[in-house]
Amino acid sequence: MTQSSSTPATLGVIVGNRGFFPDHLARSGRQDMIAALTAKGIRPVILEESESKFGAVETRQDAARCAEVFKKHREQLDGIVVTLPNFGDERAIAETLRMANLGVPILMQATPDTPSHMSIRDRRDSFCGKMSACNNLAQYGIPFSLTTLHTEAPDSELFRTDLDWFLAVCRVVKGLKKLRIGAIGARPAAFNTVRYSEKILESAGISVETLDLSEVLGRIGRLKDDDGKVVEGLRAIRQYVSTNRIPDAALVKMAKLGAVIDTWMRETEVNISAIQCWTSLEEYFGVVPCTVMSMMSDRGLSSACEVDVAGVIGMHALQLASQTPSALLDWNNNYADDPDKAVCFHCSNLPKHFFQDVRMDFQEIIAGTVGKENTFGTCVGRVKSGPMSFARFFTNDREGKISGYVGEGAFTEDSLETFGGAGCASFASEVSNITSQPIFPR
Protein backbone atom coordinates (compact mmCIF):
# COMPACT_ATOMS: atom_id res chain seq x y z
CA MET A 1 0.00 0.00 0.00
CA THR A 2 2.86 2.38 -0.66
CA GLN A 3 1.97 5.59 -2.46
CA SER A 4 3.96 6.59 -5.54
CA SER A 5 4.97 10.20 -6.10
CA SER A 6 6.83 9.40 -9.33
CA THR A 7 3.80 9.62 -11.64
CA PRO A 8 4.19 12.73 -13.83
CA ALA A 9 1.58 15.42 -13.27
CA THR A 10 -0.94 16.23 -16.00
CA LEU A 11 -2.34 19.76 -16.27
CA GLY A 12 -4.98 21.07 -18.60
CA VAL A 13 -4.17 24.41 -20.22
CA ILE A 14 -6.59 27.12 -21.28
CA VAL A 15 -5.02 29.80 -23.48
CA GLY A 16 -7.00 33.03 -23.30
CA ASN A 17 -7.35 35.23 -26.38
CA ARG A 18 -9.41 38.26 -27.36
CA GLY A 19 -9.92 39.27 -30.96
CA PHE A 20 -8.96 42.93 -30.84
CA PHE A 21 -5.72 42.18 -28.99
CA PRO A 22 -2.63 40.90 -30.82
CA ASP A 23 -3.33 37.32 -31.94
CA HIS A 24 0.34 36.45 -32.28
CA LEU A 25 0.66 36.76 -28.50
CA ALA A 26 -1.84 33.92 -28.08
CA ARG A 27 0.23 31.70 -30.34
CA SER A 28 3.56 32.48 -28.67
CA GLY A 29 1.96 32.39 -25.23
CA ARG A 30 0.61 28.90 -25.89
CA GLN A 31 4.06 27.73 -26.91
CA ASP A 32 5.67 29.41 -23.90
CA MET A 33 3.32 27.69 -21.46
CA ILE A 34 3.77 24.28 -23.08
CA ALA A 35 7.55 24.75 -22.84
CA ALA A 36 7.33 25.82 -19.19
CA LEU A 37 5.27 22.78 -18.24
CA THR A 38 7.21 20.18 -20.19
CA ALA A 39 10.49 21.55 -18.77
CA LYS A 40 9.19 20.49 -15.33
CA GLY A 41 8.08 17.08 -16.56
CA ILE A 42 4.40 18.07 -16.61
CA ARG A 43 2.19 16.69 -19.37
CA PRO A 44 -0.02 19.44 -20.85
CA VAL A 45 -3.52 18.72 -22.18
CA ILE A 46 -4.44 21.54 -24.53
CA LEU A 47 -6.41 22.39 -27.65
CA GLU A 48 -4.46 21.83 -30.85
CA GLU A 49 -3.85 24.90 -33.00
CA SER A 50 -6.08 23.33 -35.65
CA GLU A 51 -9.03 23.13 -33.23
CA SER A 52 -9.33 26.89 -32.66
CA LYS A 53 -7.44 30.05 -33.54
CA PHE A 54 -3.92 29.26 -32.31
CA GLY A 55 -5.34 26.64 -29.93
CA ALA A 56 -6.74 29.41 -27.73
CA VAL A 57 -10.21 29.84 -26.22
CA GLU A 58 -12.17 32.89 -27.31
CA THR A 59 -15.72 31.90 -28.28
CA ARG A 60 -18.34 29.67 -26.71
CA GLN A 61 -17.61 27.14 -29.46
CA ASP A 62 -13.92 27.17 -28.48
CA ALA A 63 -14.95 26.69 -24.87
CA ALA A 64 -17.06 23.65 -25.77
CA ARG A 65 -14.23 22.06 -27.74
CA CYS A 66 -11.72 22.68 -24.97
CA ALA A 67 -14.11 21.29 -22.37
CA GLU A 68 -14.51 18.12 -24.42
CA VAL A 69 -10.75 17.68 -24.59
CA PHE A 70 -10.55 18.04 -20.81
CA LYS A 71 -13.42 15.60 -20.23
CA LYS A 72 -11.65 12.96 -22.32
CA HIS A 73 -8.72 13.20 -19.92
CA ARG A 74 -10.80 13.63 -16.74
CA GLU A 75 -9.13 10.75 -14.92
CA GLN A 76 -5.61 12.01 -15.68
CA LEU A 77 -6.00 15.75 -15.06
CA ASP A 78 -4.54 16.97 -11.77
CA GLY A 79 -5.36 20.65 -12.34
CA ILE A 80 -5.85 23.43 -14.88
CA VAL A 81 -3.59 26.35 -15.74
CA VAL A 82 -5.27 29.37 -17.36
CA THR A 83 -2.65 31.39 -19.21
CA LEU A 84 -3.35 34.92 -20.42
CA PRO A 85 -0.76 36.03 -23.00
CA ASN A 86 -3.14 38.89 -23.82
CA PHE A 87 -6.34 40.20 -22.22
CA GLY A 88 -8.26 36.99 -22.97
CA ASP A 89 -12.00 36.41 -23.10
CA GLU A 90 -13.18 36.02 -19.52
CA ARG A 91 -16.54 34.45 -20.44
CA ALA A 92 -15.00 31.75 -22.62
CA ILE A 93 -12.58 30.82 -19.83
CA ALA A 94 -15.36 30.52 -17.26
CA GLU A 95 -17.61 28.60 -19.64
CA THR A 96 -14.84 26.14 -20.47
CA LEU A 97 -14.40 25.34 -16.81
CA ARG A 98 -18.14 25.15 -16.17
CA MET A 99 -18.74 22.80 -19.11
CA ALA A 100 -15.77 20.59 -18.22
CA ASN A 101 -16.94 20.41 -14.57
CA LEU A 102 -13.73 18.76 -13.41
CA GLY A 103 -13.54 19.89 -9.78
CA VAL A 104 -9.75 20.25 -9.91
CA PRO A 105 -7.57 23.19 -8.78
CA ILE A 106 -7.14 26.10 -11.21
CA LEU A 107 -4.11 28.40 -11.44
CA MET A 108 -4.51 31.82 -13.03
CA GLN A 109 -1.38 33.13 -14.80
CA ALA A 110 -0.98 36.39 -16.74
CA THR A 111 2.09 37.31 -18.79
CA PRO A 112 3.58 40.75 -18.05
CA ASP A 113 3.86 43.57 -20.55
CA THR A 114 7.24 45.02 -21.46
CA PRO A 115 7.49 48.84 -21.37
CA SER A 116 9.33 48.90 -24.71
CA HIS A 117 6.62 46.78 -26.38
CA MET A 118 3.43 48.70 -25.70
CA SER A 119 2.36 49.44 -29.27
CA ILE A 120 -0.96 48.23 -30.62
CA ARG A 121 0.90 45.29 -32.12
CA ASP A 122 2.50 44.01 -28.92
CA ARG A 123 0.51 45.32 -25.96
CA ARG A 124 -0.89 42.48 -23.84
CA ASP A 125 -3.20 44.04 -21.23
CA SER A 126 -3.01 40.70 -19.39
CA PHE A 127 -2.82 42.56 -16.08
CA CYS A 128 -6.38 43.80 -16.54
CA GLY A 129 -7.54 40.62 -18.28
CA LYS A 130 -6.62 38.54 -15.26
CA MET A 131 -8.81 40.69 -13.01
CA SER A 132 -11.71 40.26 -15.41
CA ALA A 133 -11.23 36.52 -15.73
CA CYS A 134 -11.00 36.05 -11.96
CA ASN A 135 -14.08 38.22 -11.45
CA ASN A 136 -16.04 35.94 -13.79
CA LEU A 137 -14.82 32.78 -12.09
CA ALA A 138 -16.00 34.21 -8.78
CA GLN A 139 -19.40 34.95 -10.35
CA TYR A 140 -19.58 31.38 -11.65
CA GLY A 141 -18.68 29.98 -8.22
CA ILE A 142 -15.47 28.41 -9.51
CA PRO A 143 -12.58 28.52 -6.96
CA PHE A 144 -9.11 29.34 -8.26
CA SER A 145 -5.54 29.96 -7.14
CA LEU A 146 -3.31 32.96 -7.88
CA THR A 147 0.38 33.31 -8.64
CA THR A 148 2.64 35.14 -6.20
CA LEU A 149 2.74 38.23 -8.42
CA HIS A 150 -0.19 39.41 -10.48
CA THR A 151 1.79 38.89 -13.70
CA GLU A 152 4.58 36.36 -14.19
CA ALA A 153 6.32 35.17 -17.35
CA PRO A 154 5.99 31.40 -17.95
CA ASP A 155 9.77 31.06 -18.21
CA SER A 156 10.49 32.97 -14.98
CA GLU A 157 11.94 31.39 -11.86
CA LEU A 158 9.04 32.77 -9.82
CA PHE A 159 6.47 31.03 -12.02
CA ARG A 160 8.42 27.77 -11.75
CA THR A 161 8.25 28.13 -7.96
CA ASP A 162 4.53 28.86 -8.16
CA LEU A 163 4.07 25.76 -10.31
CA ASP A 164 5.71 23.65 -7.59
CA TRP A 165 3.29 25.14 -5.06
CA PHE A 166 0.32 24.54 -7.37
CA LEU A 167 1.31 20.92 -7.98
CA ALA A 168 1.29 20.45 -4.21
CA VAL A 169 -2.24 21.89 -4.09
CA CYS A 170 -3.25 19.46 -6.83
CA ARG A 171 -1.80 16.50 -4.93
CA VAL A 172 -3.67 17.48 -1.78
CA VAL A 173 -7.01 17.87 -3.55
CA LYS A 174 -6.61 14.67 -5.55
CA GLY A 175 -5.42 12.75 -2.51
CA LEU A 176 -8.37 13.84 -0.37
CA LYS A 177 -10.97 13.00 -3.00
CA LYS A 178 -12.45 9.57 -2.38
CA LEU A 179 -10.11 9.14 0.59
CA ARG A 180 -10.82 6.11 2.78
CA ILE A 181 -9.78 6.28 6.44
CA GLY A 182 -9.58 3.30 8.75
CA ALA A 183 -10.91 4.02 12.25
CA ILE A 184 -9.55 1.16 14.37
CA GLY A 185 -11.16 0.96 17.78
CA ALA A 186 -13.31 3.42 19.70
CA ARG A 187 -12.41 6.96 20.70
CA PRO A 188 -11.15 6.86 24.30
CA ALA A 189 -13.75 8.37 26.60
CA ALA A 190 -11.46 11.15 27.82
CA PHE A 191 -10.58 12.37 24.31
CA ASN A 192 -13.56 14.55 23.37
CA THR A 193 -11.27 16.77 21.31
CA VAL A 194 -11.03 14.15 18.54
CA ARG A 195 -14.79 13.89 17.98
CA TYR A 196 -15.88 14.43 14.38
CA SER A 197 -18.81 13.98 12.01
CA GLU A 198 -18.59 11.07 9.59
CA LYS A 199 -21.48 12.54 7.62
CA ILE A 200 -19.72 15.86 7.00
CA LEU A 201 -16.61 14.00 5.86
CA GLU A 202 -18.73 11.81 3.58
CA SER A 203 -20.29 14.88 2.01
CA ALA A 204 -16.76 15.92 1.01
CA GLY A 205 -16.01 12.50 -0.48
CA ILE A 206 -14.06 11.16 2.52
CA SER A 207 -15.23 7.78 3.85
CA VAL A 208 -14.51 6.18 7.22
CA GLU A 209 -14.23 2.39 7.52
CA THR A 210 -14.46 1.12 11.10
CA LEU A 211 -12.89 -1.91 12.76
CA ASP A 212 -13.55 -2.83 16.38
CA LEU A 213 -10.49 -3.36 18.55
CA SER A 214 -11.90 -6.74 19.64
CA GLU A 215 -11.69 -7.90 16.02
CA VAL A 216 -8.06 -6.82 15.84
CA LEU A 217 -7.19 -8.73 19.01
CA GLY A 218 -9.19 -11.74 17.83
CA ARG A 219 -7.34 -11.87 14.50
CA ILE A 220 -4.02 -11.50 16.30
CA GLY A 221 -4.95 -14.47 18.48
CA ARG A 222 -5.27 -16.65 15.38
CA LEU A 223 -1.76 -15.80 14.12
CA LYS A 224 1.09 -18.14 14.96
CA ASP A 225 4.53 -16.78 15.75
CA ASP A 226 6.00 -18.47 12.66
CA ASP A 227 3.35 -17.13 10.26
CA GLY A 228 5.06 -15.65 7.20
CA LYS A 229 3.52 -12.21 7.72
CA VAL A 230 4.64 -12.17 11.35
CA VAL A 231 8.18 -13.24 10.50
CA GLU A 232 8.42 -10.59 7.79
CA GLY A 233 6.96 -7.94 10.10
CA LEU A 234 9.45 -8.78 12.83
CA ARG A 235 12.33 -8.48 10.38
CA ALA A 236 11.02 -5.10 9.17
CA ILE A 237 10.71 -3.76 12.74
CA ARG A 238 14.27 -4.71 13.60
CA GLN A 239 15.55 -3.09 10.42
CA TYR A 240 13.51 0.05 11.03
CA VAL A 241 14.58 0.98 14.57
CA SER A 242 17.05 -0.07 17.27
CA THR A 243 15.36 -2.68 19.45
CA ASN A 244 18.12 -3.31 21.99
CA ARG A 245 16.77 -4.31 25.41
CA ILE A 246 13.24 -4.85 24.04
CA PRO A 247 11.82 -8.30 24.90
CA ASP A 248 11.36 -10.62 21.93
CA ALA A 249 7.80 -11.38 23.03
CA ALA A 250 6.87 -7.69 22.75
CA LEU A 251 8.40 -7.45 19.28
CA VAL A 252 6.41 -10.46 18.11
CA LYS A 253 3.22 -8.82 19.39
CA MET A 254 4.03 -5.68 17.39
CA ALA A 255 4.67 -7.76 14.28
CA LYS A 256 1.28 -9.46 14.66
CA LEU A 257 -0.48 -6.15 15.22
CA GLY A 258 1.14 -4.73 12.09
CA ALA A 259 0.24 -7.81 10.04
CA VAL A 260 -3.44 -7.65 11.04
CA ILE A 261 -3.74 -3.90 10.36
CA ASP A 262 -1.91 -4.13 7.04
CA THR A 263 -4.07 -7.04 5.85
CA TRP A 264 -7.29 -5.26 6.84
CA MET A 265 -6.24 -2.02 5.14
CA ARG A 266 -5.48 -3.87 1.92
CA GLU A 267 -8.73 -5.82 2.00
CA THR A 268 -10.87 -2.72 2.63
CA GLU A 269 -8.80 -0.41 0.36
CA VAL A 270 -8.18 1.98 3.26
CA ASN A 271 -5.51 4.63 2.62
CA ILE A 272 -4.68 5.91 6.12
CA SER A 273 -5.65 5.04 9.68
CA ALA A 274 -6.47 6.29 13.17
CA ILE A 275 -5.96 3.74 15.95
CA GLN A 276 -7.20 3.42 19.54
CA CYS A 277 -4.32 3.15 22.01
CA TRP A 278 -4.84 4.62 25.48
CA THR A 279 -4.97 2.30 27.38
CA SER A 280 -6.81 -0.67 25.85
CA LEU A 281 -3.92 -2.07 23.80
CA GLU A 282 -1.57 -1.81 26.74
CA GLU A 283 -3.92 -3.44 29.25
CA TYR A 284 -5.37 -6.18 27.03
CA PHE A 285 -2.58 -6.82 24.51
CA GLY A 286 0.61 -5.74 26.24
CA VAL A 287 2.38 -3.32 23.85
CA VAL A 288 1.92 0.17 22.49
CA PRO A 289 1.18 0.47 18.73
CA CYS A 290 3.67 3.33 18.25
CA THR A 291 6.32 1.58 16.17
CA VAL A 292 3.73 -0.03 13.90
CA MET A 293 2.14 3.39 13.32
CA SER A 294 5.52 5.07 12.88
CA MET A 295 6.43 2.59 10.15
CA MET A 296 3.14 3.19 8.33
CA SER A 297 3.53 6.98 8.48
CA ASP A 298 7.12 6.70 7.27
CA ARG A 299 5.82 4.88 4.18
CA GLY A 300 3.27 7.63 3.46
CA LEU A 301 0.37 5.71 5.05
CA SER A 302 -0.31 8.30 7.74
CA SER A 303 -1.52 6.95 11.08
CA ALA A 304 -2.82 8.91 14.09
CA CYS A 305 -3.50 7.64 17.59
CA GLU A 306 -6.69 7.79 19.70
CA VAL A 307 -8.91 7.46 16.61
CA ASP A 308 -8.13 11.07 15.67
CA VAL A 309 -9.66 10.88 12.20
CA ALA A 310 -9.60 14.65 11.63
CA GLY A 311 -5.97 14.69 12.76
CA VAL A 312 -4.92 12.04 10.26
CA ILE A 313 -6.60 14.00 7.47
CA GLY A 314 -4.27 16.88 8.32
CA MET A 315 -1.32 14.47 8.37
CA HIS A 316 -2.30 13.11 4.97
CA ALA A 317 -2.73 16.56 3.45
CA LEU A 318 0.72 17.63 4.65
CA GLN A 319 2.26 14.40 3.39
CA LEU A 320 0.67 14.89 -0.03
CA ALA A 321 1.87 18.48 -0.23
CA SER A 322 5.44 17.88 0.91
CA GLN A 323 5.87 14.34 -0.42
CA THR A 324 7.57 13.52 2.88
CA PRO A 325 6.21 11.72 5.97
CA SER A 326 4.08 13.71 8.40
CA ALA A 327 3.44 13.41 12.13
CA LEU A 328 0.77 14.37 14.64
CA LEU A 329 2.29 16.21 17.61
CA ASP A 330 0.89 17.92 20.70
CA TRP A 331 1.87 21.55 21.22
CA ASN A 332 2.64 20.44 24.69
CA ASN A 333 4.66 22.98 26.65
CA ASN A 334 5.83 26.55 26.59
CA TYR A 335 9.54 26.95 25.98
CA ALA A 336 10.99 29.10 28.77
CA ASP A 337 9.65 32.66 28.41
CA ASP A 338 9.66 32.83 24.60
CA PRO A 339 6.03 33.39 23.47
CA ASP A 340 6.82 32.27 19.90
CA LYS A 341 8.24 28.88 20.87
CA ALA A 342 6.67 25.67 22.13
CA VAL A 343 7.66 22.10 22.84
CA CYS A 344 6.05 19.73 20.36
CA PHE A 345 5.76 16.26 21.84
CA HIS A 346 4.43 12.77 21.32
CA CYS A 347 4.98 9.66 23.38
CA SER A 348 5.67 8.62 20.39
CA ASN A 349 4.69 7.22 17.03
CA LEU A 350 6.59 9.79 14.96
CA PRO A 351 7.93 8.46 11.66
CA LYS A 352 11.67 7.87 11.59
CA HIS A 353 11.97 10.68 9.05
CA PHE A 354 11.43 13.21 11.88
CA PHE A 355 14.25 12.13 14.17
CA GLN A 356 17.92 13.01 14.50
CA ASP A 357 18.26 9.47 15.83
CA VAL A 358 15.70 7.07 17.21
CA ARG A 359 15.44 3.97 19.37
CA MET A 360 12.61 1.81 20.60
CA ASP A 361 11.74 2.08 24.29
CA PHE A 362 8.79 1.82 26.68
CA GLN A 363 6.07 4.44 27.12
CA GLU A 364 6.93 6.23 30.34
CA ILE A 365 3.54 7.89 30.89
CA ILE A 366 1.32 4.80 30.59
CA ALA A 367 3.87 2.59 32.34
CA GLY A 368 2.94 4.18 35.64
CA THR A 369 -0.58 2.82 35.20
CA VAL A 370 -0.28 -0.50 33.36
CA GLY A 371 3.36 -1.45 34.05
CA LYS A 372 6.53 -1.07 32.00
CA GLU A 373 6.28 -4.63 30.66
CA ASN A 374 3.06 -3.69 28.81
CA THR A 375 4.31 -0.50 27.17
CA PHE A 376 7.22 -1.43 24.93
CA GLY A 377 7.12 -0.06 21.38
CA THR A 378 7.55 3.71 21.49
CA CYS A 379 9.90 5.56 19.15
CA VAL A 380 12.09 7.83 21.27
CA GLY A 381 14.38 10.59 20.06
CA ARG A 382 14.89 14.27 19.31
CA VAL A 383 13.11 15.86 16.35
CA LYS A 384 15.68 17.18 13.88
CA SER A 385 15.84 20.92 13.20
CA GLY A 386 14.50 22.50 10.03
CA PRO A 387 11.44 24.21 8.52
CA MET A 388 8.00 22.68 8.87
CA SER A 389 4.37 23.34 8.03
CA PHE A 390 1.42 22.50 10.23
CA ALA A 391 -2.28 21.97 9.62
CA ARG A 392 -5.32 21.01 11.64
CA PHE A 393 -8.75 20.14 10.25
CA PHE A 394 -12.02 19.54 12.05
CA THR A 395 -15.65 19.02 11.15
CA ASN A 396 -17.51 22.21 11.98
CA ASP A 397 -20.81 20.59 12.89
CA ARG A 398 -22.61 23.85 13.62
CA GLU A 399 -21.93 25.09 10.09
CA GLY A 400 -21.92 21.71 8.37
CA LYS A 401 -18.48 21.94 6.76
CA ILE A 402 -14.84 21.01 7.20
CA SER A 403 -12.73 23.84 8.58
CA GLY A 404 -9.11 24.18 9.54
CA TYR A 405 -5.97 26.26 9.68
CA VAL A 406 -2.48 26.04 8.23
CA GLY A 407 0.78 27.75 9.11
CA GLU A 408 4.55 27.53 9.02
CA GLY A 409 7.33 27.29 11.56
CA ALA A 410 10.61 25.54 12.22
CA PHE A 411 12.04 22.98 14.60
CA THR A 412 15.04 24.46 16.40
CA GLU A 413 18.16 23.12 18.13
CA ASP A 414 17.24 24.61 21.51
CA SER A 415 18.22 22.36 24.39
CA LEU A 416 15.52 20.01 25.61
CA GLU A 417 15.67 17.23 28.17
CA THR A 418 12.57 15.05 28.09
CA PHE A 419 11.27 11.63 27.02
CA GLY A 420 9.27 10.43 24.01
CA GLY A 421 9.60 12.12 20.64
CA ALA A 422 10.01 15.86 21.10
CA GLY A 423 11.42 19.03 19.62
CA CYS A 424 11.38 22.75 20.24
CA ALA A 425 9.45 24.62 17.57
CA SER A 426 9.35 28.28 16.63
CA PHE A 427 6.19 29.39 14.88
CA ALA A 428 5.64 32.06 12.25
CA SER A 429 3.04 34.68 13.07
CA GLU A 430 0.87 34.09 10.01
CA VAL A 431 -1.78 31.40 10.25
CA SER A 432 -4.39 31.01 7.51
CA ASN A 433 -7.93 29.82 8.12
CA ILE A 434 -9.45 27.58 5.47
CA THR A 435 -12.82 25.97 4.89
CA SER A 436 -13.94 22.97 2.92
CA GLN A 437 -15.06 24.69 -0.27
CA PRO A 438 -11.70 25.41 -1.95
CA ILE A 439 -9.83 22.49 -0.39
CA PHE A 440 -12.35 19.70 -0.86
CA PRO A 441 -14.10 20.37 -4.21
CA ARG A 442 -17.07 18.18 -5.00
Domains of the chain: 10-176 (3.40.50.10940), 180-439 (no CATH)
Which region holds residue 371: left if phi is over 0, alpha if psi is between -120 and 50, else beta?
left
**What pLDDT does 439 receive?**
43
pTM given for the model = 0.93
Q: Does the pLDDT of residue 1 top 70, yes or no?
A: no
**What pLDDT does 430 receive?**
64
Please state whether the peptide bond connecting residue 348 to the residue before it is cis, i.e. omega within 30 degrees of 0: yes
**What pLDDT does 437 receive?**
46
Enumerate the β-bridge partners of residue 431.
407
* Rounded Cα–Cα distance for residues 428 and 410 (Å): 8
Contact yes or no for 438/146 (Cβ under 8 A): no
Q: Does the pLDDT of residue 20 top 80, yes or no?
A: no
**What pLDDT does 442 receive?**
30
* Rounded Cα–Cα distance for residues 219 and 214 (Å): 9
- Which is higher by pLDDT, 58 or 440? 58
**What pLDDT does 87 receive?**
95
Q: What is the SS3 assignment for 36?
A: helix
Helix, strand, coil percentages, rounded to 5, for the chain = 40, 25, 35
For the segment 68-106, what is each residue's pLDDT rounded down to a tens digit? 999 999 999 999 999 999 999 999 999 999 999 999 999
| CB burial readout 421-441, b (16+ within 10 A) else e | bbbbbbbeeeeeeeebeebbb
Contact yes or no for 351/325 (Cβ under 8 A): yes
Q: Does the pLDDT of residue 410 top 50, yes or no?
A: yes
Q: What is the SS3 assignment for 395?
A: strand
pLDDT (average), residues 17-22 = 85
Contact yes or no for 107/80 (Cβ under 8 A): yes
Compute the half-sphere exposure of residue 418: CA atoms within 13 Å on the CB side of its CA.
20
**What pLDDT does 389 receive?**
95
